[in-house]
Amino acid sequence: EHKKKIVPLFGLHLFHCQSSKGLSFALKASANRKTFKTSVKPGWYYFGRKMETADFEWLMWFSTFRDHIIFALSGHVLFAKICSMLAPQYRSLVYMVYGLLAVWTSMGWTYVTLILSHCILLYSISLVKIRWLCFVTGLCTLATFKCEPFISWQAGFVEGDFELRPVFFYGGCGFTIMRCMSFALENCERKDGNYNILELLKYNFYLPFFYFGPIMTFDKFYVQVNRCDLTRKEREMWNINLHGVIHLIVIIVVDILFHFMYILTIPTDLKLMKHLSDWALVGLAYFNLVYDWVKAAVMFGVINTVSRLDHLDPPKPPKCITMLYVFAETHFDRGINDWLCKYVYNYLGGKHENMVEELVATLCTFGITILWLGPCQVVLVWAFLNCFGLNFELWTGKFFSVEPFSSFEMAMSEAMSRRIRAIFNTFNFWSIVLYNILALNSLDFAKLVAKRLLLKGFPITTIIVMFVTYCLIQVIKEQERRQALIDDPDPLPPAPPPNAATSPTTSATAPTAAQPVADPSKEKAE
């Protein structure tokens, strides 16, 4: 969900020649060979192999943008550290000034003026304190960066031309609108007075989050950035350094794998895909999602490391695709997910028990997501399938919560109940994989994987893949159960009365009462 452009970058769709299928296949094969040649480049000398460059975001971050971001973020960390030591009460102001100057230097004063105009517009609307008006204004403003002729008109204000200018332009403007909407909605909730426009500028021009996110809602940012107590928890600095080293190692490993595994370029050659085995095709689809998760985790992890040095608590990195077996957790950008849940999904859905309210909440949530990603056929199909999956989970849960199914489950053991749920989650897992493969690659590749997994590969491939997935989900459920017991342990029984030692009956029963629950899993619902 963090992608600004979700359409596959190297998927070429040629016309079908009705009079000659042979000519059509020849044209496709030629186009696929050209695609492969343009999506690789000479790699590291030590490997003697070409490196895949099909992923625009990875190439932008860690090749083209690498030197710029190291320089800009290093300056931010340096000035932030000096300010934190000398005048911690003014550190939010220093963040704003440095971010404003960095944006001005990279994009020019006309771009800064454009950003400020949007900030002033939404700030003015927030003073009215009408929630729906702030939403309508914000979404209309966001639409001006997704629809012509407003895109070209606003882009014309930015002078100069360099390789990353379009990326900076749309990234900075899009995230600015989302941040301004968060500020406006939080200002509507404030009972006494209004937030100062300076707080909005501090929030928006915080450089690590400005161009590429993640989005931290204004209420969290305001509390954390204005905190004067800058003491760190025990081993917090050690954890920050450890995460920084891990991200560096992962970047190097992924760059090395790009010389040997062309997992993004291979799916563009559908003729080659048809000759792969079922296992190879299913594995390729799975590793496409794993790679996208790694990329999102590293990109947001680098920025989050810098923000943690500034004593902020940024949104957590995305949850690994291997751990996702329910649609309610399928998000690659926790910042956007938190924003949508706070202001749209939870606001409209309430307790998420009423099916009509849930349907309205999910439709509005995915409607805003479509606008954020940019309306196109692939995004619309992806949004429809995920919206249906999310609602189908609720409908299924409601259906099995009524009689006689609820009585059947109550009569089962917890282990049997979890096995039955894992069977349903197995199909959920591969639905999530197929729906997101559609967004990351192409509709044809997703259809080919689904056809091999469910039709041509039936029964051997289908049963084996589903059984392995079922075992994986059981392991994940057990891990999550143990982690839940650690995060929320069962309360200890009440202490015996003070005269327990003088009473023979109480002293005999005290050791039994003081014992913890023998099997905590029996006391906790899944």
- pLDDT per position as a tens digit, 257-301: 888 888 888 888 888 888 888 888 999 999 999 998 898 888 888
DSSP state of 525: -
Question: pLDDT tens-digit profile of 133-170?
Answer: 999 999 999 998 887 777 788 777 776 665 567 777 88
Compare 86 and 521 and report the one with higher pLDDT: 86
pLDDT score recorded for residue 94:
92
Query: Which of 170, 165, 168, 202 lies closest to 183, judged by CA?
Result: 202
- Rounded to 5 degrees, φ, ψ at 41 are -150, 165
Of 391, 398, 395, the C-alpha closest to 362 is 391
Q: How far is CA 1 from CA 7, 331, 370, 386, 484, in A?
A: 12, 6, 10, 12, 27
Residue 131: band (very low, low, confident or very high) from pLDDT cuts 50, 70, 90: very high
Here the tokens at position 391 are 């609602």
pLDDT (0 to 100) of residue 242:
92
pLDDT of 469 > 60? The answer is: yes
Is-contact 288 264, C-beta < 8 A? yes
d(CA 312, CA 300): 14
Compute, in degrees rounded to 10, the torsion defined by CA atoms 380, 168, 66, 83: -120
Which of 38-52, 340-354, 388-402 shows the lowest per-residue confidence on average (mean pLDDT)? Answer: 38-52
Task: Check residue 41 and report its DSSP letter.
Answer: E
- Between CA 355 and CA 392 the distance in angstroms is 10
Q: 50-52 and 40-42 as β-strands: parallel, antiparallel, unpaired?
A: antiparallel
Alpha helices in 441-489 (DSSP H): 443-451, 460-487
Q: pLDDT tens-digit profile of 189-200?
A: 998 889 999 999
pLDDT band at 21 (very low <50, low <70, confident <90, very high): very low
Q: Model confidence at 19, in pLDDT bands (50, 70, 90)?
A: very low
User: Considering the chain, what percentage of its residues have pLDDT values greater than 90?
Assistant: 32
Say yes or no to pLDDT of 29 above 50.
no
pLDDT tens digit sequence for 403-416: 888 888 888 888 89
The H-or-E segment that residue 506 falls in is helix 504-514
Contact 9, 56 (CB under 8 A): yes
Q: What is the DSSP letter of 326?
A: S
Report the Cα 488 to chain-centroid distance in Å: 25
Q: What is the pLDDT of residues 407-465, one digit of tens each?
A: 888 888 888 988 999 999 999 999 999 988 888 888 889 899 999 988 888 888 899 99
Question: Which DSSP helix (H) or strand (E) runs through 252?
Answer: helix 236-257
The DSSP secondary-structure symbol of 2 reads -
Query: Token pair 């409908």 is at which residue?
Result: 395
Cβ distance 182 to 125 under 8 Å?
no
Rounded alpha-carbon distances, angstroms, from residue 191 to 221, 347, 418: 19, 18, 46
pLDDT band at residue 513 under the 50/70/90 scheme: very low
What pLDDT, on the 0 to 100 scale, is given for residue 23?
Answer: 28
The closest of 99, 98, 131, 132 to 115, measured between CA atoms, is: 99
Peptide bond into 494 cis (omega under 30): no
pLDDT of residue 501: 46
Confidence of residue 35 (pLDDT cuts 50, 70, 90): low
**Alpha-carbon torsion 174, 357, 355, 417, what sign?**
positive
Residue-level pLDDT at 387: 92
- 186 or 516: which leads in pLDDT: 186
Q: Decide which of 28 and 100 is more confident.
A: 100
The pLDDT, as a whole number, for residue 515 is 43
Question: In the predicted model, what is the mean pLDDT of the chain?
Answer: 81
Q: Please list, in sequence order, all residues whose beta carbon lies within 8 angstroms of the beta carbon of residue 112, skipping any fewer than 6 positions away.
A: 100, 103, 104
Left, alpha or beta for 269 (phi > 0: left; psi -120 to 50: alpha)?
beta
Are 383 and 6 contacting, i.e. CB atoms less than 8 angstroms apart? no
pLDDT at 495: 61
Q: Summarize the confidence of residues 218-233 as an average pLDDT.
A: 88
Do residues 306 and 77 make contact, with C-beta atoms less than 8 angstroms apart?
yes
For 293-331, the pLDDT digits (tens) are 898 888 888 899 999 999 899 988 888 888 888 888 877
Token pair for 57: 């975001």
Q: Are 469 and 426 in contact (CB under 8 A)?
A: yes
Residue 112 has pLDDT above 80, yes or no: yes
Name which residue leads in pLDDT, 489 or 364: 364
Q: How far apart are CA 292 and CA 287, in angstroms?
A: 8
User: 309 with 83: CB under 8 angstroms?
Assistant: no
- Do 249 and 256 touch, CB atoms closer than 8 A? no
Dig out the tokens for 4 from the structure.
Answer: 């600004």
Helices H / strands E in the chain, number of each: 24, 2
> How does pLDDT run across 480-506, given as a tens digit for each residue?
888 888 887 766 556 665 554 444 443
Task: Assess contact for 305 and 244: CB atoms under 8 A.
Answer: yes
- pLDDT for 66 beyond 80: no
45 pLDDT band, cuts 50/70/90, is low
pLDDT value, residue 13: 26
In the chain, the largest separation of any two C-alpha atoms, in whole Å, equals 101
HSE-CB at 411 with a 13 A cutoff on CA atoms is 6
